[in-house]
Amino acid sequence: MSLHDSPHTSVDDPSRIDASPFGPADEVARLLEVTEARMSALREALENSERRLQSVVDALPIGIAVVGGDRRVIASNPVAQALIPDCAPGDILLTEDDREMADGMDTVVRVANGTRRINLRSQAIAWDDSTAFLVVVEEAEDMVTGRRLRRSGATARPIATPAVPAIFAPVVDLATGRVAGVIAKPAESTDVTGPALQRIIARAAGVLAEWSADRHVSEQPFVMVSAPGAIGDRGLPPFVEAVIRRAGAPRNRLWLRIPEHEAAAGGELAREALAELRRAGVRTALERFGGGASGMDALQTLPVDGVVLDEALVGSGDWTVIQTAMSVARHLGLVPFASGVEDDAMATRLRALGCRNGEGALYGDGVGPKEAAALVGQRVTEPILEAVGDSPA
């Protein structure tokens, strides 16, 4: 007898298994029916449970979801689905660090190449003899507009003040004395990197789009951002490209200022990073220029568009070195900027050497976006001294 013919190898025909160790055929059939009925009841109970859970979650005014240990979304409300991609029931929740779900975990979901950030917190809960996680949106931030929502108890409320308040310092055309652009920087006057730098860049693109909307191309301002560490951030070029596209900002009017010593020490990786930033639609300038960190040969290979004379160099009054730095910039076809301009005599001498734009105490400190918008294109007759934090438009 072949294995296929064995009466103990198939239950397709219950009459053939009377002698099997399972017992009589009718008992096996009843067992199968009971098992199927129980499985059907379990499935129905689970579906009803998920439907009841979904109805509760739907009623909450904050972004909330219930997620299994495998990160499958069991239930989520419209707020969560609107804020978080792939957050409908049955989807797999994808987070920035791709970690496994854990009790008390704080994590981030990035949307639109990081131009929106969703901060989540999870809490373990019992669910059908296993562990699931209640995931709550703690904060949602649009970096371009600066708008944020933060959880307050069981509701979400808007937050007016951005996480990194930005101020805008004037950059003046030395030939006309008019404000040609601004430098966007944190109100705390400290260097920023990572997410904080991204917020400043996003706000810069946002105000640039607002200020340029009703202006002729020739009158559109530029916005500059000091970006230490930018050439080592491989995610920055796609982020910048997404920011410019979302904000609707004119290409090549947003400048990132890269410390000269970082570009000089970065070698081929720095050149690739600068080229990627240029393709993303921004211009780059070497900041703190004039200290001799880059030789002429190295400068010729860097895909940058401008240089910013070092504030200490400008303040030193060593006009021989300043003139040499200006000659290098002119030879390479780079747009020159000077930082640390303190008085009219200094501005006049820089202009005579061919420096196109200046910034510093002569023109004032940073102001908020509304005040800065009113300054663009205007002649600076006295320093703008009052620093005003970022405020919603």
3-state secondary structure of 246: helix
Pairing relation of β-strands 64-68 and 130-142? antiparallel
Using one digit for the tens of pLDDT, what is the confidence trace for 176-231? Answer: 999 999 999 887 766 677 778 888 999 899 999 999 988 888 889 999 999 998 88
Domain assignment present for residue 119? The answer is yes
Domain assignment present for residue 389? The answer is no
Q: In the beta sheet, which residues pair with residue 130?
A: 127
C-alpha atoms less than 13 angstroms from C-alpha of 100 in its C-beta half-sphere? 5
Domain assignment present for residue 381? The answer is no
Domain assignment present for residue 385? The answer is no
Specify whether 368 is located in the same domain as 229.
Answer: yes
Amino acid 180: pLDDT: 96
> Which amino acid appears at position 291 of this protein?
G
Amino acid 60: pLDDT: 55
Number of domains the chain is built from: 3
Domain assignment present for residue 386? The answer is no
Residues with pLDDT less than 50, the chain: 1-22, 57, 386-393
Specify whether 301 is located in the same domain as 224.
Answer: yes
Specify whether 25 is located in the same domain as 147.
Answer: no
Q: How far apart are CA 47 and CA 73, in angstroms?
A: 14
DSSP letters for 53-108: HHHHHHT-SS-EEEEETT-BEEEE-HHHHHHSTT-STT-B---SS-PPP-TT-EEE
Count of Cβ atoms closer than 10 Å to residue 27 Cβ: 11
Tokens representing residue 211 in the block? 């200020």
Specify whether 194 is located in the same domain as 339.
Answer: yes
Specify whether 24 is located in the same domain as 125.
Answer: no
What letter would DSSP give residue 368?
A: -
Specify whether 123 is located in the same domain as 270.
Answer: no
> Which amino acid appears at position 326 of this protein?
M
Specify whether 257 is located in the same domain as 339.
Answer: yes
Using one digit for the tens of pLDDT, what is the confidence trace for 281-336? Answer: 899 999 999 876 667 777 888 999 999 999 999 999 999 999 999 999 999 999 99
Amino acid 21: pLDDT: 46
Q: How far apart are CA 36 and CA 386, in angstroms?
A: 76
Cα–Cα nearest to 95, from 74, 83, 110: 110
Specify whether 327 is located in the same domain as 223.
Answer: yes
> Which amino acid appears at position 6 of this protein?
S
Using one digit for the tens of pLDDT, what is the confidence trace for 218-227? Answer: 889 999 999 9
Query: Residue 236 sits in a domain of what CATH number?
Result: 3.20.20.450
Specify whether 276 is located in the same domain as 365.
Answer: yes
Query: Residue 78 sits in a domain of what CATH number?
Result: 3.30.450
Specify whether 236 is located in the same domain as 333.
Answer: yes
pTM of the model: 0.70
Specify whether 96 is located in the same domain as 231.
Answer: no
Domain assignment present for residue 142? The answer is yes
Domain extent, residue 148, equals 64-159
